[in-house]
């Protein structure tokens, strides 16, 4: 006889199987590993605990069929353009102007925004054992659900966004483009780095400073360091971690001074509280 499971465990098994399209034995195995926490088990499965590292022959065949379904220009057999990608994102329930689109771009290693390649599509989804639209939709649903607590996944998405933000042979991202991506990455409800707090509208300040004072394109170093800076400001809103000797990009140094002046008297929030 199969082992008896509690009502909660049966529910977890059903949920795991629904999210991953896996069988019952796989569900039980991963749920036991994660102490019957379905959310952690599903996340562990998709992050490498159950997904294959490379697509099998049958899986790749299925992925090629899915890819061909969305090709909007039949003269480019290995590329899906903007129209096809919009249709695809709609089918997997990913919003066009939300962080989910950036997550898909990272998974599939899209060369530019709004374009998917056959290789990226088959390799990206094959590595997650998601060879059907339904599996891909389930994967994205779980990814976005768990992303607020998954800084590592967010960091991968954040860093890859720089690649799709560039156009042509540009070595940097245009400021207006970078600003729009920052608004999505730091403003989405699914982001683990929500760069605004009750006392300090950091993201609003950052955008205001860049667009009115700095007005330059964004190179890779500035892009990557902005994530580090954003995370640290949320941990220490007094900016006590920053010193003139720190090796931050100049734009961060200038922003800190601008924030101090904006707060009044050239003091950080923490310094002002100590004086009071």
Residue ranges per domain, the chain? 9-49, 57-147, 151-275
User: What's the pLDDT tens digit per position in 100-110?
Assistant: 999 999 999 99
**Alpha helices, H only, 72-150:** 82-91, 99-107, 118-126, 133-146
Tell whether the torsion through CA atoms of 155, 125, 190 and 38 is positive or negative.
Answer: negative
Question: Which of the four pLDDT bands, split at 50, 70 and 90, describes residue 268?
Answer: very low
What pLDDT score was predicted for residue 48?
A: 56
CA-wise closest residue to 183 among 153, 212, 158, 163: 158
Q: Which two tokens mark 136?
A: 């891909």
Mean pLDDT, rounded, for 215-220 = 95
Pick the CATH number of 57-147 from 3.65.10.10, 1.10.1040.10, 1.10.238.10, 1.10.1200.10: 1.10.238.10
Q: Which two tokens mark 164?
A: 């799709």
Whether 57-147 and 151-275 share one fold: the answer is yes
Q: What is the CATH number of domain 151-275?
A: 1.10.238.200
pTM for this structure?
0.78
Please answer whether residues 262 and 217 qualify as being in contact, where contact means their C-beta atoms are separated by less than 8 angstroms.
no
């Amino acid at each position: 006889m199969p082992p008896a499971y509690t009502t909660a465990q049966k529910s977890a098994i059903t949920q795991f199987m629904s999210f991953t399209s896996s069988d019952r034995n796989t569900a039980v195995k991963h749920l036991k590993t994660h102490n019957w926490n379905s959310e952690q088990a599903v996340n562990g499965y998709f992050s490498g605990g159950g997904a294959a590292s490379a697509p099998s022959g049958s899986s790749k065949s299925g992925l090629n069929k899915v890819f061909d379904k969305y090709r909007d220009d039949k003269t480019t057999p290995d590329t899906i353009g903007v129209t096809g990608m919009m249709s695809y994102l709609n089918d997997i329930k990913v919003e066009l102007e939300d962080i989910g689109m950036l997550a898909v771009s990272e998974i599939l290693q899209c060369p530019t925004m709004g374009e998917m390649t056959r290789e990226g599509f088959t390799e990206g989804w094959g590595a997650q054992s998601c060879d059907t639209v339904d599996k891909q939709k389930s994967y994205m649903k779980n990814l976005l659900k768990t992303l607020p607590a998954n800084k590592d996944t967010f960091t991968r998405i954040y860093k890859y966004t720089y690649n799709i933000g560039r156009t042509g042979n540009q070595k940097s991202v245009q400021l207006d483009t970078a600003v729009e991506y920052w608004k999505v990455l730091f403003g989405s409800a699914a982001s683990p780095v929500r760069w605004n707090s009750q006392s300090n509208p950091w993201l609003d300040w950052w955008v205001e400073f860049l667009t009115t004072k700095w007005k330059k394109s964004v190179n890779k170093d500035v892009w990557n360091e902005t994530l580090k800076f954003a995370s640290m400001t949320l941990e220490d809103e007094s900016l006590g971690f920053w010193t003139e000797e720190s090796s931050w990009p100049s734009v961060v140094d200038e922003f800190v001074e601008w924030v101090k002046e904006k707060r009044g008297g050239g003091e950080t929030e923490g310094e002002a509280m100590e004086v009071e």
